[in-house]
A and B are shown apart, each in its own frame.
Chain A
Amino acid sequence: MRELFHEISSTLRNNKLRTALTGFAVSWGIFLLIALLGAGNGLMNSFVGNIEDYISQNITVEGWRTSKPYAGYKEGRDIQLDESDVLFTESEQWKGIIHDVYRGTGVTSVSLSLNGLSVSGALRGVMPDYKEAEKMRMYTGRFLNPDDVDERRKVIVISLYQAKELSPKDPDAILGRWIAAGAISYRVVGIYHTDESEMSRLCPIPFSTYKGIYDNTDKVESISFSVTGPETLEEHEAFEKLYGTAIRLRHDIAPDDRRGIWINNGYTDNLEMNKASRMINIALWILGILTLISGIVGVSNIMLITVKERTHEFGIRKAIGAKPGEILKLIIAESITITAAFGYIGMFLGMVACQIMDKTVAQRSIDIGGEKIQMLVNPTVGLDVALEATLLLIIAGTIAGAIPAWKAARVKPIEALRAD
């Protein structure tokens, strides 16, 4: 083995241009693949991350306006959900499937003010699990808890944006303070993280508090719940149809009138998104493999020329006693050495490129509709993927070397000696 290595290293040293060209093809292929996959991963992380903020893991039902005439009613009728719909949703009929039902109230716009500074806010009565369902991230303090709802406390959670507006010098200091929301004062118990989008006007207050002050009826603006059972897209759609038909018929709405009662299914959105990210991933790999193929073609091309060029040399080696297997071994070992060494260099540089992307492009964000979006999030490739890709190239390089090597090994020495 050491002898073989010595033989190869002397050959490579004495054929520097050839070695460099082959090496470049290999390094470049791996480098591009890893940089591409890294950028792709970054793009996908950003895509998934940005969308996940909007997708909640539950189903929300809201009354809108009918778009079809049904049961003697004309279209264009406003639909209002109420407590009976909540009871229907919680009924035995859906036992084991629907749980964690909670009522969503409407939104009341108010002006929040503190020490002469003010900012607009949208009060909404919610239950404590609203935070999980809407994927809210707390900046400081806490979210609403069951006691807040039970005791109808006058507490409020505001956005970091609002906190900064009300207390520009020290947003954190607003925690625990009483602020005015219209005519009523609330104590701030938490501040949540936001971008500067419209969403950040939302101020959750306990559901019971809201009902008591702003909406003293049995009307419900929305009903949200989670489900267990349906897994696939088809199962979710089937459930949605079953539930949707039932609740629409309660209000004399056509079963397929999606605008009469709107059902927003976070699960199917999620499934759709997973599908989308899988497709991006597949597309990336296809691009990557095509890149890799160009590297492999480069290697095989050079190996082919190399073997042709060295036919005479192989003839000499055979004349003085090299067996066909030995010629084969020499070429393949040489090809593996080149692809492995330069593949490693390409892999290393590719990972460096990913790190550079992470430190530069990934730190920048662009503004879309008032919202900051990072184009690339963590644009790196796992070491396992990098090693796999390098291994793939080494195997391909071996095969690329093996075909011409096999031909060279089979040439009769007398013919090989005649070659120039």
Chain B
Amino acid sequence: MLIELKGIHKTYDNGQPLHVLKGIDLNIEKGEFVSIMGASGSGKSTLLNILGILDNYDEGTYHLGGTLIKDLSERQSADYRNRMIGFVFQSFNLISFKTAVENVELPLYYQGVGRKKRHDMAMEYLEKLGLTQWASHFPNEMSGGQKQRVAIARALITKPQIILADEPTGALDSKTSVEVMQLLKQLNQEEGLTIIVVTHEGGVANETDKIIHIKDGIIGEIEENRSHSAWGGSIIK
């Protein structure tokens, strides 16, 4: 079991306490391609942040690859994030004053990998994603789809155990959305990467093998979707 959540509770307290996650139990196996679906305010992003060790939780336990992720120091969580998790964000979150290849290199910089090796590896991943000729371009010189592919390359470069994608197609048009989802699917199938996609779009969720529905802070239905037939099988919005 790669991810094991037991009785996760999370309450935000901004003046008025807001109970967002009300006891989440969830297991995700290595190599799974799952989506977490829910309306806005359902707690899906909070769950993803906890999975990505970007946020902490109040109650319960979270084991990632057998390690209990609880009450970690900032240093430790940064280290775990760097080595175990690759993030893909809705708004790409590339550093605007760095070129594509520099953005992809950055996680390796924080691992202390030398400049030459870093650069070579980053170029290798950019090539894999068909972005070689864009390597020295800045993010604002690229299209949304290209930026998201750069972000995916950055997520992949540390060879993480899981890829967490938060609305990865949210800022993309439908054609590019299909391409990005195809890419994630391919990575799951060919590299055996565990990929968790958070989305509110049925079409996107349909591309994954398992759809976890979350509503009002608890897990609802878990839908096996090997046939990709849920939601009429279409990604078109």
Contact = CB atoms under 8 A, between A and B. Distances in A.
Contacts of A320: 81-82, 87, 106-107, 110, 154
Given A3-B109, A320-B81, A413 B54 contact: yes
Contact of A323 (B74, B96, B98, B102): B74
A276 B208 CA distance: 85
A343 B10 CA distance: 50
A414 interface: yes
Contacts of B96: 313
B228 to A, nearest CB: 30
Interface in B7-58: 49, 52, 54-55
B200 interface: no
A317 B106 contact: yes
Contacts of A14: 97-98
B54 A326 contact: no
A316 B154 CA distance: 11
Interface stretch (A5-13, A49-57, A95-103, A231-239): A5-13
**For this complex, into which size category does the number of interface residues on chain A fall?**
20 to 34
B43 to A, nearest CB: 14
B95 interface: yes
A324 interface: yes
A10 B75 contact: no
Interface residues of B, number: 28
Contacts, number: 67
Given A320-B110, A321-B110, A412 B55 contact: yes
B111 A321 contact: yes
Contacts of B78: 318, 321-324
Nearest to B74: A324
A330 B219 CA distance: 41
A319 B97 contact: no
A316 B97 CA distance: 13
A3 B105 CA distance: 12
A46 to B, nearest CB: 52
A322 B109 CA distance: 9
A194 to B, nearest CB: 68
A69 interface: no
A410 B79 CA distance: 16
B131 to A, nearest CB: 18
A50 B87 CA distance: 75
A74 B70 CA distance: 103
Contacts of B81: 318-321, 413
Interface string B69-81: 0000011001101
Contacts of A349: none
Contact of A3 (B52, B82, B89, B115): B115
Select the residue from A315, A316, A324, A417 with max chain B CB neighbours within 10 A. A316
Contacts of A319: 52, 54, 81, 87, 93
Interface in A313-358: 313, 315-326
A324 B83 CA distance: 16
B110 A326 contact: yes
B158 interface: yes
A309 B35 CA distance: 33
A93 interface: no
Interface string A1-41: 00100110011001100000000000000000000000000
B64 to A, nearest CB: 15
A323 B97 contact: no
Contact of A321 (B49, B55, B82, B89): B82
A329 to B, nearest CB: 11
Of all A-B residue pairs in the complex, the 3 with the closest CB atoms, nearest first, are A321-B82, A14-B97, A321-B110
Interface of B: 49, 52, 54-55, 74-75, 78-79, 81-83, 87, 89, 93-98, 102, 106-107, 109-111, 115, 154, 158
28 contacts: A3-B109, A6-B115, A7-B109, A10-B97, A15-B97, A312-B93, A316-B93, A317-B95, A317-B106, A317-B110, A319-B52, A319-B54, A319-B81, A320-B81, A320-B82, A320-B110, A321-B78, A321-B82, A321-B83, A321-B107, A323-B75, A325-B75, A326-B110, A410-B74, A412-B54, A414-B54, A417-B54, A417-B93
